[in-house]
């Protein structure tokens, strides 16, 4: 053996042993962590096999030893709310945790309406975003990752962050307002774990064992365990998308022209008129996919010149590039985010200015979403940009097939985003999801109930509080009784309240017809918090649930419905109860008449005898859904049948 090799080998081995001996904690157990009060406090992690570990916390010392695989844990007796505390761990190395809080830990999960950050609603809540400062409310954002093959026990990244003016923009808006109300009332630290992903269906959040009850979802998970298949799908998606955009750029007259159509000096006198905001389907461009350019000349007020400006361009389907006087001031890659752009000082000129917008539509209807803000503004004044614009087709194209969205497939999010949270005691869960299951609404009741039972089993905390948001009103209203997958999914959500310790926040009055991400997250959070106060914190005197049918009698010429959740009675805002529909075996649904009598509503139609079904607010976006409890909570949309169990 080389004389230099053996000492090097010893040093290298000692180095490896030293590194292996480093005590390591899960990412979740880090500075600023919030642990659940009044529950056994488990601190765990990894070290060298058989390594001795000492933990000091609040004046007490605990010792343990890692097992043969290096796993160790210490269980501390339940603690009262308080903090901040420090914790010292010692093994072959030393680790100190700072700013630990003991309070209530809430899992905040679902899809984009739970994930939606305060930054997206800052125009609605400017003072809150500007001044929010509460170290007693903290958030841990779970990274958006998936794995179909392995259940994970740790996160690759993530930090605990307290509410401050610098951090508030990244807090889940719904979860923040939920936590704010609870923290203000109970004066204990509130930890919110943001474990949500936009677009995710309910099946993505279920364990493999739970998915076995649903063969289609279980089989999907098995297929995506093939990592080579996943890589192939993702590569094909990326290649198809890149080729589509590359071809579009190459044939876009607006990019190829000299000067380009974004230029202020470009002559657009022969362009066609367009009233903005509007879609370009069916007129003037029919079902065109591809790129369309829009231009508008305007004279800016003198007060707007030589200062930074805010440009609001509503929402645009799908991608936009916005130019002011030939300079790119903003771009957004997909349809959902609000277009909020900053115009730097000096771009706006005295006199005439030109706005140009290049819009790329990949499929369906392209254009500018109605009833959204379109303006240029200083701190004191606003210039409206709606009205007459001009347009020209840059390049037509075949639709771009959408991506596969591998990350949404069954089981993947459970394995990598939820499973690492299972070792920690929690107060409960709030959930806002369902939009991605609307097209399969008939499956939802069974799958959503299975998810709740799955999580409760895996957490091992019994029937912990599980509170969720019913889907808000969305899409254009209809003026006659219709079938609706959105309504059917709301029905499935309502039926899920049969599970113990569940609560549903009704949001049928909080949506926006033109936005799947309504801005009113304060009332969503407050309604969830009200449910939590009753179900999780035991204030049984509260009227926290929305009115819902509790008992019904189908008679020859009417249906009598008694409501729960209306202890002080019911009211109809703006007139008699509306949005009720009724049918019998011979006739289809017609709008019904309704009358309130205390906790009961009488529903009938003079031409309907022997009614068999009654619906309330049964539509994507029901008009005049005006039934409320006297405490201000709206009644849940519902369908009841003569043969329904009561």
Residues 231-241 pLDDT 10s = 999 999 999 99
| Fold agreement (250-397, 548-641) | no
pLDDT tens sequence across 381-411? 999 999 999 999 999 999 999 999 999 999 9
pLDDT reported for residue 9: 37
In sequence order, what are the residues at sequence separation of 6 or more whose Cβ sits closer than 8 angstroms to the Cβ of residue 593? 576, 580, 603, 604, 605, 606
pLDDT tens sequence across 548-574? 999 999 999 999 999 999 989 999 999
Mean pLDDT across 630-635:
97
DSSP result, 479-507: SS----HHHHHHHHHHHHTTSTTEEEE--
Diameter of the chain measured on Cα atoms? 104
pLDDT at 5 over 80: no
Measure the N-to-C terminal CA separation of the chain; round to a whole number of Å.
85
Q: How confident is the model at residue 121 (pLDDT cuts 50, 70, 90)?
A: very high
Q: Count the neighbouring beta carbons within 10 Å of the beta carbon of residue 585.
A: 9
pLDDT reported for residue 19: 45
Best CA proximity match to 274, nearest among 294, 248, 254, 298: 294
Q: Count the neighbouring beta carbons within 10 Å of the beta carbon of residue 24.
A: 16
Q: How confident is the model at residue 8 (pLDDT cuts 50, 70, 90)?
A: very low
Sign of CA dihedral 154, 157, 159, 165: negative
pLDDT reported for residue 2: 44
The domain over range 250-397 is classified in CATH as 2.60.120.260 = yes
| CB half-sphere exposure, 392, CA atoms < 13 A | 18
**Percent of the residues in the chain that have a pLDDT greater than 90, as a whole number:** 94
The H or E element spanning position 45 is strand 41-46
CA 615 to chain centre: 28
pLDDT tens sequence across 123-176? 999 999 999 999 999 999 999 999 999 999 999 999 999 999 999 999 999 999
pLDDT reported for residue 21: 61
The H or E element spanning position 6 is helix 5-21
How far, in Å, CA of 307 to CA of 130, rounded?
A: 22
pLDDT at 283 over 50: yes
Assigned CATH topology for domain 548-641: Immunoglobulin-like (2.60.40)
pLDDT reported for residue 305: 95
What are the sequence ranges of the domains in the chain? 250-397, 548-641
**Percent of the residues in the chain that have a pLDDT greater than 70, as a whole number:** 96
How far, in Å, CA of 85 to CA of 31, rounded?
A: 10
Alpha-carbon dihedral angle through residues 32, 38, 39, 40, given to the nearest 10 degrees: 80
pLDDT reported for residue 360: 98
- 3-state secondary structure (DSSP) of residue 96: strand
* Residue 203: exposure state from Cβ atoms within 10 A (0-12, 13-18, ≥19): buried
**474 within 8 A of 620, measured Cβ to Cβ:** yes
How far, in Å, CA of 322 to CA of 585, rounded?
A: 56
Q: Count the neighbouring beta carbons within 10 Å of the beta carbon of residue 305.
A: 15
| DSSP E strand stretches across 47-133 | 52-57, 60-65, 71-76, 82-90, 94-110
pLDDT at 6 over 90: no
How far, in Å, CA of 512 to CA of 532, rounded?
A: 26
pLDDT tens sequence across 171-218? 999 999 999 999 999 999 999 999 999 999 999 999 999 999 999 999
* Residue 37: exposure state from Cβ atoms within 10 A (0-12, 13-18, ≥19): buried
Q: How confident is the model at residue 1 (pLDDT cuts 50, 70, 90)?
A: very low
Mean pLDDT across 41-49:
98
pLDDT tens sequence across 355-389? 999 999 999 999 999 999 999 999 999 999 999 99
R_g of the chain computed on alpha carbons: 29
**What percent of the residues of the chain are helix, what percent strand, and what percent coil, each to the nearest 5?**
25, 30, 45
- 3-state secondary structure (DSSP) of residue 604: strand
CA 119 to chain centre: 13
Q: What is the pTM of this model?
A: 0.94
How far, in Å, CA of 292 to CA of 252, rounded?
A: 9
pLDDT reported for residue 525: 98
**218 to each of 156, 169, 214, 416, 458, how far by Cα in Å?**
26, 37, 6, 17, 18
How far, in Å, CA of 118 to CA of 20, rounded?
A: 41
**75 within 8 A of 42, measured Cβ to Cβ:** yes
Sign of CA dihedral 508, 514, 517, 519: negative
pLDDT at 80 over 90: yes
* Residue 330: exposure state from Cβ atoms within 10 A (0-12, 13-18, ≥19): middle
Q: At what angle do helices 441-459 and 485-496 cross, to 10 degrees?
A: 30
Q: How confident is the model at residue 288 (pLDDT cuts 50, 70, 90)?
A: confident
CA 122 to chain centre: 16
How far, in Å, CA of 411 to CA of 220, rounded?
A: 9
Q: How confident is the model at residue 491 (pLDDT cuts 50, 70, 90)?
A: very high
**513 to each of 66, 265, 476, 509, 631, how far by Cα in Å?**
57, 38, 6, 11, 25
Please state whether beta strands 374-377 and 382-384 pair in parallel, antiparallel, or not at all (unpaired).
antiparallel
Please state whether beta strands 638-641 and 613-616 pair in parallel, antiparallel, or not at all (unpaired).
antiparallel
* Residue 327: exposure state from Cβ atoms within 10 A (0-12, 13-18, ≥19): middle
**483 to each of 261, 488, 557, how far by Cα in Å?**
45, 8, 24
Peptide bond into 72 cis (omega under 30): no
């Amino acid at each position: 053996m080389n004389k230099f090799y053996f000492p090097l080998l010893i040093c290298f081995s000692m180095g490896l042993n030293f590194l292996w001996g480093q005590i390591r904690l899960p990412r979740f157990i880090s500075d600023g962590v919030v642990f659940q009060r009044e529950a056994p406090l488990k601190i765990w992690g990894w070290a060298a096999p058989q390594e001795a570990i000492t933990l000091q916390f609040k004046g007490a010392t605990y010792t343990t030893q890692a097992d043969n695989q290096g796993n160790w844990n210490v269980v501390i007796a339940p603690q009262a709310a308080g903090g901040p505390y420090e914790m010292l761990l010692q093994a072959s190395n030393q680790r100190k945790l700072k700013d630990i809080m003991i309070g209530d830990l809430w899992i905040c999960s679902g899809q984009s309406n739970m994930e939606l950050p305060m930054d997206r609603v800052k125009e609605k809540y400017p003072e809150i975003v500007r001044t929010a400062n509460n170290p007693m409310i903290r958030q841990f954002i779970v990274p958006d990752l998936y794995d179909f093959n392995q259940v994970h026990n740790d996160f690759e990244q993530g930090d605990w962050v307290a509410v401050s003016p610098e951090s508030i923009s990244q807090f889940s808006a719904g979860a923040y307002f939920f936590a704010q109300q609870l923290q203000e009332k109970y004066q204990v630290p509130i930890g919110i774990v943001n474990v949500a992903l936009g677009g995710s269906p309910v099946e993505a959040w279920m364990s493999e064992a739970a998915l076995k009850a649903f063969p289609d979802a279980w089989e999907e998970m098995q297929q995506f365990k093939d990592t080579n298949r996943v890589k192939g799908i993702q590569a094909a998606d990326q290649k198809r998308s890149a080729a589509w955009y590359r071809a579009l750029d190459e044939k876009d007259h607006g990019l190829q022209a000299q000067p380009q159509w974004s230029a202020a000096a470009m002559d657009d006198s022969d362009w066609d008129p367009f009233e903005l905001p509007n879609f370009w389907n069916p007129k003037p461009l029919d079902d065109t996919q591809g790129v369309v350019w829009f231009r508008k000349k305007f004279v800016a007020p003198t007060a707007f010149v030589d200062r930074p400006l805010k440009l609001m361009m509503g929402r645009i389907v799908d991608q936009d590039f916005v130019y002011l006087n030939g300079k790119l001031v903003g771009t957004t890659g997909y349809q959902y985010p609000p277009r909020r752009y900053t115009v730097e000082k000096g771009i706006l000129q005295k006199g005439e200015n030109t706005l140009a917008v290049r819009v790329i539509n990949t499929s369906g209807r392209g254009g500018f979403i109605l009833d959204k803000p379109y303006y240029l503004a200083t701190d004191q004044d606003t210039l409206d940009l709606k009205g007459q614009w001009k347009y020209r087709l840059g390049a037509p194209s075949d639709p771009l097939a959408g991506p596969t969205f591998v990350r949404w497939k069954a089981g993947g999010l459970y394995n990598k985003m939820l499973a690492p949270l299972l070792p920690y005691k929690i107060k409960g869960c709030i959930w806002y999801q369902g939009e991605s299951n609307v097209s399969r609404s008939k499956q939802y009741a069974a799958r959503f109930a299975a998810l709740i039972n799955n999580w409760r089993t895996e957490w091992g905390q019994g029937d912990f509080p599980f509170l969720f948001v019913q889907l808000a009103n969305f899409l254009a209203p209809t003026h006659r009784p219709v079938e609706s997958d959105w309504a059917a999914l709301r029905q499935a959500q309502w039926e899920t309240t049969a599970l113990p310790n569940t609560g549903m926040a009704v949001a049928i009055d909080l949506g926006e017809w033109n936005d799947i991400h309504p801005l009113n997250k304060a009332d969503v959070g407050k309604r969830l918090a009200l449910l939590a106060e009753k179900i999780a914190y035991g204030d049984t005197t509260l009227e926290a649930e929305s009115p819902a049918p509790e008992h019904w009698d189908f008679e020859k010429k009417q249906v009598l419905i008694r409501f729960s959740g209306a202890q002080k009675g019911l009211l109809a805002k703006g007139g008699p109860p509306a949005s009720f529909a009724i049918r019998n075996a011979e006739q289809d649904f017609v709008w019904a008449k309704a009358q309130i009598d205390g906790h009961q509503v009488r529903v009938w139609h003079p031409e309907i005898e022997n009614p068999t079904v009654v619906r309330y607010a049964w539509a994507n976006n029901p008009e005049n859904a005006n039934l409320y409890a006297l405490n201000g909570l709206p009644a849940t949309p519902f369908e009841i049948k003569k043969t329904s169990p009561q």
